[in-house]
Every structure is written in C-alpha cells, then in structure tokens.
Amino acid sequence: MRVLIAFDKFKGSMSAREACLTAEEALQERHPDWECRSTPLTDGGEGFAEIITDALDGALVSDTSTYPDRRRGTALRGRIESAKVPQRLREILQLPPEGDLAIVEMAQTAGYGLVADPDKRNPWKLTTFGVGEQLRSASEPGVSAILMGIGGSATNDLGCGALEALGLRAYDPNGNPVRTTTPEHWNGVVRFDPCPVLARPALRIACDVSNPLHGPDGAAAVFGPQKGLKDDGIPRMRKEMERIGALLVRAFAGPGTLAQQPGMGAAGGIAFGLSLAWPNTLLVPGFDCVSNALGIDKHLDWADMVITGEGRFDATSLSGKGPGSMVLYARHRRIQTWVMAGQIEAALMQNAETSEGVRYIPVSDPDIPLNESLRMGIESLRKAIHRTFP
C-alpha cells in the first residue's frame, strides 16, 4: 500500500508538518510494510513560507519585523532560485523570464497566532506594518517576483500598515501627520500621500477567497468576527473601510471598481491596498500554487490511498482549501481518501455514505473541552490512526 499523507495545520494544536509526521509514524507502527509520503499543506497562512521554500529547495531567511501589536520579533521568508521554479508554477504566477522568486507569509508578521491573548485580538488596534517590512526586505537584488500568502491574518486595515512601512503618509484636517494608520486612528485621516514610486519586483498574492472588500460579503462582515471584531462594531468598521478605501484610491489614482473585485476582501483588504500601491500586482489561485510547488499531481499518481485533514473540516473546506482540494483531486482519480480532522461538520458526517471513496474520521472527543483537545492534538491523531488502520 502506498499512502500519501497530506495534512494542513490543526490551528492552535499542531503544524501541518507535525500532523503529517505524527500520522506517518503511527501508520508505520501498525503497517511497517506500507510506503508513506508526507506532504504538509498550506492555505497561504501559517507555514506557507517554510513549506513552499522547502519544497522548491530554496533558502529561508530570518528577519526582525514588527508584529500586529507592534512588538518586535522574528519572521521567516524564502528565496528560490529561478531555475528551481517549476514551469507550470511559472505560468500560474506569470513570472518574469529571469530572476529569483521570494516567498512572503503574511502570518509571520500579521498572523492570528501572534496575538496570543484573546483580549488583544482587536482589529481596530492591529497593524500590517510588518508585512510592508517583509516585502521591502524581500525586494533584494536578483529577485524579480514575490509570492505572498495571506491566510491566517489578525488584521483588518486595508494594508494601510504595510503601505505605511513602504512610505504612505496620512494627514488630519489640519494637515498634521497621523501617527499610525491602524483603524482606531482612521477617524482622524482625511488625506494620504502615496508611497514613493520605486522599481519593485512583481507581486503575486496567493488567495482562494472570492469576497469583495465591502458589503455583506466583505472583509468586515465575513472575517471581522473571526478576528475579534464585535457585532456592534461591524457597521462602523464597514463605513470606515469604505471611506479610507476611497481615500486610498484617490491618493494612488486607482480604479474606483477595485473594491468590487473578487478577493479584495481577503486578509482585511490587504490585497486592495497593495494592488493600488505596488506595481505589477496580481491575485493568483492559492492551492494551484501550492499543489504545483509540492508536485501534488505526481504524488497522487503514485498513491493508492490519501490521508488528509486539518483542525476543522466543513463545507468551506471543499471550496478551495488545501485538504478539500486534496479530496476532490483524489476522488477524480478514484483514490480511497480518509479525512481526519479535529472537528468535522455534522452534515458531512451524515452524508458520509454518499461520499464515494471518502471516509470522515473525527479526531477529537466532542465531550472534551476545546482547550484540552488542542493540547491533546498529537496524541489524539495518533490514536485515531491506530483505530482506523489497526
């Protein structure tokens, strides 16, 4: 039996790499004669830089950058030699013919996991300043393009913080500079001076979210609550995002329809801000980038069985996320697939019998409190593998 093990992270419990390693070790304890391959997945969030850079034999670089709450800390980014980028990935990214590819992960400097205290998860107060620092650092000599993953963000600032790091300046009605561009200070902003026009690498933003920037399906309404935005604060955030977005469009002389484009509501609207300010910016399909970087097609051609999963698997997982895409790819090849997740949506479990070739295995005990389940994640996954493949 040839088994492809391809987990995404179990948020708050274990990384994608830890989940894959745990599953492989547990499986080989029961079936030492089975061949296993581990391929950690990423949705553009935590682990994106390391997973993509490792897969393409690139080099990881550690910087000191600004975190969303203004603390200073380390952040990883990658650099991959041009010759090591697969041709299909080059086509997806529309890369220049020469020059290295840099990998930037928004979660390294603006990620949800960097704000450990739930009371401080407040998008009014958090900044993407560190993302701008990372983009500036990644724009090294010899780099012709940057691929940035934007999953797992804690911020909702339209990318104003990142643009501030790149030279954006904000002013109040009296012409005085506004100290910082976090949303709690937006009510004092009436004008922006744009970033300096500089020669920069092409920017490719990996994104599988199709939400526009504003409206009931926009950044504040859909993703704000996940980041700590209170329900009664959503209307005010939406109104301020519309006003600040219009000021940014005016400052950069951008298209008035940009906010309506699919994907602009992802990651607190950072793609919107960067698309206005950064020359040659494109949104690209996230999992297509990941699957081509990791050689998923070749791994599936090899495999007799697939084991995949993440912290929570639900209907949205089947709409472009890594494990959901693995399920669809494997089903197309008629490969038996096992989905193992901390939590699995009840509707999927109820319809399991009609899910041809797919089996759903909850890893966590629903009677155990969430915090304890997160702490027990590795051991719970090990036990689930042993139960499923005795």
* Per-residue model confidence as pLDDT tens digits over 194-237: 998 888 999 999 998 899 999 999 999 999 998 999 999 999 99
- Would you say 152 and 294 are in contact if contact means Cβ atoms under 8 Å apart? no
Q: Are 306 and 324 in contact (CB under 8 A)?
A: no
Distance between CA atoms of 265 and 218, rounded to whole angstroms?
5
Tens of pLDDT, residues 33-71: 999 999 999 888 889 999 999 999 999 999 999 999 999
Average pLDDT for 83-97: 96
CB 181 within 8 A of CB 136: no
Q: Burial code of 188-207, b = ≥16 C-beta within 10 A, e = fewer?
A: ebeebebbeeeebbbbbbbb
Per the CB < 8 A criterion, the answer to whether 148 and 104 are in contact is yes
**Confidence at residue 107, expressed as pLDDT on a 0 to 100 scale:** 96
Contact 341, 313 (CB under 8 A): yes
List all residues 6 or more positions away from 21 whose beta carbon is below 8 Å from its beta carbon.
38
pLDDT of residue 353: 53
- What structural domains and CATH numbers belong to the chain? 2-41+295-388 (3.40.50.10350), 48-278 (3.90.1510.10)
Mean pLDDT along residues 234-253: 97
Which pLDDT score, from 0 to 100, does residue 352 have?
59
CA–CA–CA angle 97, 133, 163 (5° rounding):
90
pLDDT one-digit tens code per residue, 270-319: 999 999 999 999 999 988 999 999 999 999 999 999 999 999 888 777 76
Task: Give the tens place of pLDDT for each residue, 333-373.
Answer: 999 999 999 989 887 877 655 567 889 999 988 878 877 88
**223 φ, ψ to 5°?**
-105, -15
* Cβ atoms of residues 332 and 356 within 8 Å: no
* Three-state DSSP state, 18: helix
One-letter amino acid identity for 336?
A: Q
